[in-house]
Chain A
Amino acid sequence: MQLFKAILYGGDSPLAGAPVDVVLSGDCLSINAKKIHVNCDNIIMSVGGFDHNEFFLHWYAPTGEAYSLKLMGKTDITFIMANAPPSLKQQFNKWHQRQLSIKLVWASLSGIAGVFVLSLGLLWWQYDAVLSWLTQQVSVRQEEQLGKSVLAQIESNGDLVKQGLAFDTLKNIGKQLTLNSRYHYQWFIKKDKTVNAFALPGGIIVVNSALLAKADNADELAAVLAHEVQHVEQQHALKNMVNSLGWAAALMVVLGDVNAATAVIAHQLGNMYFSRDSEDEADRLGLQALIHAKIAPEGMVTLLQKLAKEPGANPPEWLSSHPDIAQRIKTIQNLLKERPCKACQPLLIDWKKIQQDNAFFQVQS
């Protein structure tokens, strides 16, 4: 004789059910208050309710009327499980399985969500490492093709110089700085009145003629080349592209707006500038390359000092994506102070002769 409380539905009980005392004895279930006696063989159990966690016992009276008994709480269910006749016991396992399967599904779902969030966090944290890994997957040949396609546009203007004394000097200094590199470097002088030099992916380095005129010695040119070579070696252009592609993809997913994503890519492709971090990295590694090649590294400082005196060279730092020139000079000077290069020698090149070279005058015209 076991007594437990439950709610009875069906018969003359109200819509919300009637609380009753139920007695389970042998293989018979009795509700004395309602004069109901059911054989356990006739009872079907089910799990239901809106939350799928409620336990029902169904049966039909001899008159055909349907009844349901809702058990109240886990303790009652375990109590009945322990004392039920074998015919009901088998059905009880279903309830457990249902509970377990719901738990399993939600546990695995939250696990997947957790892994997703964790990997997003990891990506945020190790963004630079991921970016480098991605760009390393691009082969040198593909990078070269990318650079060549941009070069073709510049070349079509007919401003590129590929011969003469200045060109040869440029090539020689460049070779000293790029020993053992996996890239096949190409060097060009461009007829241009802005003091500038730039690098294209795959090892194409272009120096504007105005920069050659501005430089006072070969060391300064070497400093510029060392800096630009590092943009190539560190794949900065490629990293920029992957970066903007990633942002575009994220924008597309979040906003569902293809136009915004395209705008990001278009903006990136239209601008060949590098972030402050990239410039700093190129400065730092360029300096090391100069020291490694035993070229006097002071040229980097003197050239930057000259650039700083140019009109309009110093926009407020927060406005510019380029690091402030004064800041760069200071950083390089500090690095030089920490590790002075005693073996380094100024390049033995007659710089005046180069600047007076015919080919160079041709460039200037």
Chain B
Amino acid sequence: MSQISYQIEGSDLQYVEVVLPPGVSVVGEQGAMMYMDANIEVSTVLGDGSQSAYGVAGRFFKALKRSLTGESLFSSRYRNESLTPQRIAFAPPIISKIVAVDLAEMGGGLICQKGAFLAGEEGIEVKLAFQKRLRVGFLGGEGFIMQRITGKGVVFINACGALKEMILAPAQTLQVDSGCLVALSPTVTYEIKYAGKVKTALFGGEGLFYASLKGPGKIWLQSLPERRLSIELMQMATLGRTKGIAGKLYLLLIIVIVVASFFAELNK
């Protein structure tokens, strides 16, 4: 059973408030702390603060590997030093929702997309999960590196958009647009399937490949991958400069002139 109790607040932009019983600590992503009670002591730890069989060098190497998964080299540990429960809140740095995952329920392990970890009970480790299949790494939308979160207790992960939690029955398969996968049980098979329709890929706006997730296990999906959001914002930022109808007409005029002069050149 988890030692902490928590409450996820907010509707679309969320933060999580954790209540720490005396003597209990949580580890959070650096800079994610939003507010905390006075009797919480903050310390900086290398990586996730976990021990290594190879001493300091081993701990540093672990932290280095962890930093490849979109986390910082150091994290902050918040410990309740008083005799009364203390509150602490974490807020993710991007427009995101938070889900709390009890690792005991997941069989002790969880695979997440890069940078998904927000906070967790002490003792939880964030490791590097390397995608061994080339096509999944290149086309799956999550890259070659993901996070493998192991240990006991509750971990908070965050992702952009609305989050959908789903349980896949044995051999049940779900087709997912690449990039929408947030987290999955280690037993879920993550594969890439070829859509087989070039026309759809070119004109339908869907990719040529999609991710296929096969049970048994639990998955979390996001409605809006950050990359998709950033592409939209970028387009708005660059196209938005031509304001109003006049600018567009002017552009059209230029295009018409260019095309016309091209044809004139051809017919010479």
User: Size range of the interface on B?
Assistant: 20 to 34
Is B106 part of the binding interface, using a Cβ–Cβ cutoff of 8 Å?
yes
Contacts of A58 in B (CB 8 A): 170-171
Given A15-B167, A67-B170; A50-B111 close (CB under 8 Å): yes
Given A44-B171, A51-B132, A68-B170; A16-B214 close (CB under 8 Å): no
Beta-carbon contacts under 8 Å, A93-142 to B: 102, 105-106, 109
Structural contact, A46 and B170, CB atoms closer than 8 A: no
Is B169 part of the binding interface, using a Cβ–Cβ cutoff of 8 Å?
yes
Beta-carbon contacts under 8 Å, B172-231 to A: 172, 184-191, 214-218
Contacts of B185 in A (CB 8 A): 15-16
User: Size range of the interface on A?
Assistant: 20 to 34
**Majority DSSP secondary structure for residues of B touching A:** loop
Contacts of B108 in A (CB 8 A): 16
Beta-carbon contacts under 8 Å, A46-74 to B: 46-52, 54, 56, 58, 66-68, 70
Option from B107, B129, B169, B188 in Cβ contact (under 8 Å) with A10: B169
Option from A10, A16, A46, A70 in Cβ contact (under 8 Å) with B105: A16
Is A147 part of the binding interface, using a Cβ–Cβ cutoff of 8 Å?
no
Interchain nearest-CB distance for A16 vs B (Å):
3
Structural contact, A50 and B172, CB atoms closer than 8 A: no
Given A15-B218, A66-B172, A67-B170; A50-B129 close (CB under 8 Å): yes
Bound complex: CA A46 to CA B108 (Å): 23
In the complex, residue of chain A having the shortest beta-carbon distance to the beta carbon of B136: A52
Structural contact, A105 and B187, CB atoms closer than 8 A: no
In the complex, residue of chain B having the shortest beta-carbon distance to the beta carbon of A98: B133
Is A9 part of the binding interface, using a Cβ–Cβ cutoff of 8 Å?
yes
Having A17-B187, A48-B191, A68-B215, one finds 11 other A-B pairs with CB under 8 Å, namely: A10-B169, A16-B107, A46-B214, A48-B214, A49-B186, A50-B111, A50-B184, A50-B188, A50-B189, A66-B171, A68-B170
B interface list, Cβ under 8 A from A: 105-108, 111, 129, 132-134, 167, 169-172, 184-191, 214-218
